Structure 1
Amino acid sequence: MSRRYAVAGRVVAVTGGGRGIGERIAVRLAAAGARVAVGDIDETAAVRVASELGDEHVGRHLDVTSTESFGAFLDEVGSTLGSVDVLVNNAGVMWVGPFAEEPEICLRRQLEVNLVGVMRGVRLVAPAMQARGSGHIVTIASAGSLLALPGEASYAATKHGVLGYLKAVREELLGSGVHLSVVLPAVVDTQLAAGTATGIAGRLSPDRVAEAVLEVLTKPRFEVSIPRYVDPLNRAIGLLPRPARDAVSRRLVPNQLRESDPGARADYQSRLETD
């Protein structure tokens, strides 16, 4: 099956599609022939992206922390483009710093957007997909679903939670015709990751993540690590005795408390702490 054939004509809803990874996913899938609905808390950004994609695409306000907003977004997509064939759960936020100094608003915001927002999206679209016997839900999680970086404790908790939730839901959807995929990228060059250290993986481009989404829609897989060696390397390290495991991990995985640049993150974190 060609990648264009796998996506052409399908209705794809992308959360957090107004910038960064979500924008590039929208662009990549539209280029492959999908009809894309761009949802974002910043409606202006969502509309801009959709207008740049062309007349067959729409941009709408979407607050993934609100069931009412998410439901209204999906209803409007259904009335303008048709039933959602693919949901890309992409919206996410991240606070970096010592766990004991994290403002509670940031803790709650990460839980609501990164974890509950994904759950909400799955709960809202999966039943209709089950009834049709087809559909695909792709979630952009993180290598933080497998690893836990100092300075990103709450973020890691949300991403571990996402992976655990999707593993369970996948078993419930087995044989239904509905596919689940979770993409686990290392540090991506976006505002969310501004000023963070990358470790051995280096900084990824949002286009690389978008390409991975197109690949899993063409040939469904549950877990996709970017770079691909992250998951097998993590599994291999997990076989070591704890002292050796800790020593190797500390050499490979960045410590954001020591290595991140707070100045480069100041604008992003200020918005996160006040929104």
Structure 2
Amino acid sequence: MGRLDGKVALITGGARGMGKAHARHFAAEGARVVIGDVLDDKGRAVADGIGADRCRFVHHDVTSEDDWAVAVDETIDAYGRIDVLVNNAGILRHAPVAAMDPADFRQVVEVNLVGTWLGIRQVVPPMTAGGGGSIVNISSIEGFAGAAGLSAYSASKFGVRGLTRSAAQELGPAGIRVNSVHPGGVMTSMALAAAQTMTGVDGGGFLKSLPIARFAEPVEISRLVAFLASDEASYTTGAEFLADGGLLSGPGY
């Protein structure tokens, strides 16, 4: 028996990185999954690899109210219900505050924070009608500690924490749980691309300072997300879960 047997999940940003890992792991745990992304070819390839009986792909820009409506409707049309939403889609722009284009700042906040809010808003009616559900918002360690050059990303991820707590307060009576996951360094294409733009950072020294001295594999985050999506986390809402190799547990000395 899988941890997510009988569950139906919508996962944003499912074409690559952590989203792809979440989709594969959820399907392996028994869920039926719809993945949304703006990367159509990659998204369809992920869905095809999982199998049509377990996974569908929908084009989905999380900043679009219309796309959210379509994604949720297609999930319900395909599988009859929606039990889980994983707000995973996100972008990162690295630049000092004084040098950052305001349009880039706004884009990061629109995708990472407003997109998450739109998703929560869209699934409330069907989850309430279905007796409840679980929403898992993917934040970051930058939602706890700011980082130089990541003002937009940090602001958006701090915002996800507040949104998660507020939504948990509102939606608990409807049987909807809302939690956030805060990964540290994860081996994804977005993280690797970001690392290339950050100068003056001693990567080797950073890793050595961690209690678990390595980056995470995406599936290691997926296992935590799946737990929060499952009935095993039935008394957990409004909570924040770090998966950072111990980075924020204290100074590495």
Under TM normalisation by the shorter chain, which class is it?
Answer: 0.7 to 0.9
How many angstroms does 1:228 deviate by? Answer: 6.7
The 1-side partners of 2:73 and 2:41 are apart by 20
Query: What's the CA shift string for 1:29-55, capped at 9, x where partnerless?
Result: 001111110110111111111110012
Equivalent of 1:211, from 210, 216, 223?
223
**Amino acid across the alignment from 1:169:** A
Aligned to 1:224: 241
Query: What's the CA shift string for 1:37-77, capped at 9, x where partnerless?
Result: 01101111111111100121111100001000111111112
The 2-side partners of 1:144 and 1:127 are apart by 31
Deviates most, 173-182 or 17-26 = 173-182
The 2-side partners of 1:162 and 1:121 are apart by 12
How many angstroms does 1:97 deviate by? Answer: 2.1
Deviates most, 168-177 or 222-231 = 222-231
Structural mapping, 1:1-275, within 5 Å: 4=2, 6-56=3-53, 57-194=55-192, 195-196=194-195, 199=206, 200-201=209-210, 202-218=214-230, 219-220=232-233, 221=236, 222-227=239-244, 229=246, 233=249
Deviates most, 22-31 or 121-130 = 121-130
Percent identical among aligned pairs is 32
The 2-side partners of 1:42 and 1:183 are apart by 23
The 1-side partners of 2:40 and 2:106 are apart by 22
The 1-side partners of 2:52 and 2:152 are apart by 40
Deviates most, 65-74 or 197-206 = 197-206
Query: What's the CA shift string for 1:168-193, capped at 9, x where partnerless?
Result: 11111223211112110112111221
The 2-side partners of 1:190 and 1:103 are apart by 25
For the structure 1 residues 190 and 152, does the alpha-carbon distance in structure 2 shift closer, same or farther, using more than 3 Å as the test?
same
Please state whether the residue corresponding to 1:174 is helix, strand or coil. helix
RMSD value, Cα:
1.9
How many angstroms does 1:215 deviate by? Answer: 1.9
The 2-side partners of 1:214 and 1:132 are apart by 19
TM-score by length of 2: 0.86
The 1-side partners of 2:29 and 2:131 are apart by 23
Please state whether the residue corresponding to 1:127 is helix, strand or coil. helix
Unaligned segments of structure 1, at least 5 residues:
235-247, 253-275
